[in-house]
Chains A and B, each alone.
Chain A
Amino acid sequence: MIIGENIHKSFGDLEVLKGVDLHVKPQEVVVLVGVSGSGKSTLLRCFNFLEMINEGKITIDGHTVNPKKDNLTKIRAEVGMVFQHFNLFPHKTVLENVIEAPITVKKMKKEEAKKLGAELLKKVGLEDKANVYPSKLSGGQKQRVAIARSLAMQPKVMLFDEPTSALDPELVGEVLQVMKQLAEEGMTMVVVTHEMKFAKEVADRIIMIDEGRIIESADPKNFFENPQNERTKQFIQLVE
């Protein structure tokens, strides 16, 4: 569904991704782990073309993206992204947040978009918050709106960059619950998270990134019980 081959990305002299190969199959849930600064966010942002790769190629749903020729706007619409800090639009209500892109990008009729929006808000358990502004929501609610907003574009794959890291501990569960449900419905997902319980339960594969390279890739059982790389062993000890 989403394939990265030999991805290199530098910021000035700093090479952050040093040849990453990642093949995410349809309906697969991949959890990315790694210490701070290892390049997890950068990798996700490359998949969404918020950052442009310096070398390598990215294929989304069978189409190898050519950043010079392709309409990146259209490609971004197919790849949903959920951010650590939600990034809801504060000047729009919850429902308006969700229907903004379907209306402006897909030219969906307002009535139709509202129906879709209401369905999605119901899915994330926030149908009663449709007309409030984001400032009135808890962090967990904000993140669920952000997920609904992303789903409204019917993306082929969803990227999550530490979706629960900015939340109070008691609000983490409600967001993970929604993500788990998405995974069960067959959404292809790449998730950066420190929630190891979620990784064990939901991930098909856990990938460890270290200094811009993939150093471990295994199903959760093997990842935790039989890690091959020294750094992975250290990492597991740290989180367990």
Chain B
Amino acid sequence: MPEIFVTVYDVFMRTYPGFLEATVVTLQLTAIGVILGTVIGLVFALMKISGSKILQTIANIYITIIRGTPLIVQIMFLYFGIVEIYTMSNFWAGAIALGVHNGAYIAEIFRGSIQGIDPGQREASMSLGMDRRQTMSRIVFPQALRRSIPPLGNQFIITLKDSSLVYIIGVAEIFSLGNREAAQSYQPFESFLVVALYYLVLVMIFTFLLRLYENKLDVDRA
């Protein structure tokens, strides 16, 4: 048993410079995926609650397609689709694919939290003479946004792990480096254990930060 620790330790020490670089790439992919996904999600959530049948239908089609197909297929599809029209790096193709994918899930997060606000809030606001726009921007959205933060944090963590799938288009993030390491070193078990550790530690850090932030929100309101 101690022997495995020694070999894992060796692999770790030998590979960490490369993995640190790959970690940066993973974090960049995740950040772009979530930020882009948030923007897309906001737009589609607004379309879904807009009351316009056409906009709702467009949003529904988008969400159905994204949620109904595997991310890895979306990555390939977007990669070859985008590269056809516009040359861009694999990194950006992957990041955009993650963003488009996240957009559908984040749209549902936003829609859920907006619709989850007690209708009494809207009524109180309207009864005070605020119009629809003021009611949305001053009363409904701020509350909905707070409610979105825990599921958004969760989505961030999912994206962090999902970003490993862009290895398929050759982006040098954690998983693809581990994959290469495993093949070259003939130590696949140790290599993937190290890969798993990187993800685990990152997820734990973000979970912790998320908790801190949620607690702060609670304290603010108390």
CB-based nearest B residue for A45: B123
In angstroms, Cα B126 to Cα A73, docked, is: 7
Which of B121, B129, B222 has the most C-beta atoms of chain A within 10 angstroms of its own C-beta?
B129
A50-B127 in contact given A87-B120, A89-B139, A100-B138 (Cβ < 8 Å): yes
Q: Is the CB of A83 within 8 A of B129?
A: no
In angstroms, Cα B120 to Cα A78, docked, is: 19
Q: Does B4 contact A (CB under 8 A)?
A: no
CB-based nearest B residue for A105: B129
- Which residues of A from 71 to 117 have beta carbons under 8 Å from B? 73-74, 76-81, 83, 85, 87-91, 100-101, 104-105
B120, B125, B127, B139: which contacts A48 (Cβ < 8 A)? B127
In angstroms, Cα B121 to Cα A89, docked, is: 7
Q: Does A232 contact B (CB under 8 A)?
A: no
Q: Is the CB of A89 within 8 A of B124?
A: yes
Q: Is the CB of B130 within 8 A of A87?
A: no
In angstroms, Cα B120 to Cα A146, docked, is: 12
In angstroms, Cα B121 to Cα A100, docked, is: 13
Number of B residues whose C-beta is below 8 Å from A?
Answer: 20
Contacts of B222 in A (CB 8 A): 133, 135-136
Contacts of A91 in B (CB 8 A): 142-143, 146, 221
A81, A88, A89, A100: which contacts B127 (Cβ < 8 A)? A81
Q: Does B134 contact A (CB under 8 A)?
A: yes
A83-B123 in contact given A89-B139, A105-B130 (Cβ < 8 Å): yes
Q: Does A188 contact B (CB under 8 A)?
A: no
Q: Is the CB of B129 within 8 A of A149?
A: no
- Which residues of A from 34 to 79 have beta carbons under 8 Å from B? 48, 50, 73-74, 76-79
Q: Is the CB of A76 within 8 A of B128?
A: yes
Number of A residues whose C-beta is below 8 Å from B?
Answer: 28
- Which residues of B from 117 to 154 have beta carbons under 8 Å from A? 118, 120-121, 123-131, 134, 138-139, 142-143, 146
Q: Is the CB of B134 within 8 A of A104?
A: yes
In angstroms, Cα B139 to Cα A135, docked, is: 16
In angstroms, Cα B129 to Cα A81, docked, is: 11
In angstroms, Cα B125 to Cα A88, docked, is: 9
Contacts of B128 in A (CB 8 A): 76-77, 100-101, 105, 149-150, 153
In angstroms, Cα B124 to Cα A91, docked, is: 14
Q: Is the CB of B221 within 8 A of A87?
A: no
Q: Is the CB of B131 within 8 A of A79?
A: no
A79, A80, A104, A133: which contacts B130 (Cβ < 8 A)? A104
Query: What is the distance, in angstroms, from A226's C-beta to the closest C-beta of chain B?
Result: 36
Q: Is the CB of B130 within 8 A of A50?
A: no
In angstroms, Cα B131 to Cα A78, docked, is: 14
Query: What is the distance, in angstroms, from B142's C-beta to the closest C-beta of chain A?
Result: 5
Which of B123, B127, B143 has the most C-beta atoms of chain A within 10 angstroms of its own C-beta?
B127
Which of B124, B134, B143, B222 has the most C-beta atoms of chain A within 10 angstroms of its own C-beta?
B124
Which of B134, B221, B222 has the most C-beta atoms of chain A within 10 angstroms of its own C-beta?
B221
In angstroms, Cα B32 to Cα A117, docked, is: 44
Query: What is the distance, in angstroms, from A102's C-beta to the closest C-beta of chain B?
Result: 9
In angstroms, Cα B123 to Cα A135, docked, is: 19
Q: Is the CB of B127 within 8 A of A76?
A: yes
Query: What is the distance, in angstroms, from A133's C-beta to the closest C-beta of chain B?
Result: 5
Contacts of A89 in B (CB 8 A): 121, 124-125, 139, 143
Closest 8 A-B residue pairs measured CB to CB? A77-B129, A87-B124, A101-B128, A81-B127, A87-B120, A105-B129, A73-B131, A76-B129
Question: Can you give 24 A-B contacts (C-beta < 8 A)?
Answer: A48-B127, A50-B123, A50-B126, A73-B126, A76-B128, A76-B129, A77-B129, A79-B127, A81-B123, A81-B127, A83-B123, A87-B121, A87-B123, A88-B124, A89-B121, A91-B143, A100-B128, A100-B130, A101-B129, A104-B130, A104-B134, A133-B221, A135-B221, A153-B128
Interface of B toward A, CB cutoff 8 Å: 118, 120-121, 123-131, 134, 138-139, 142-143, 146, 221-222
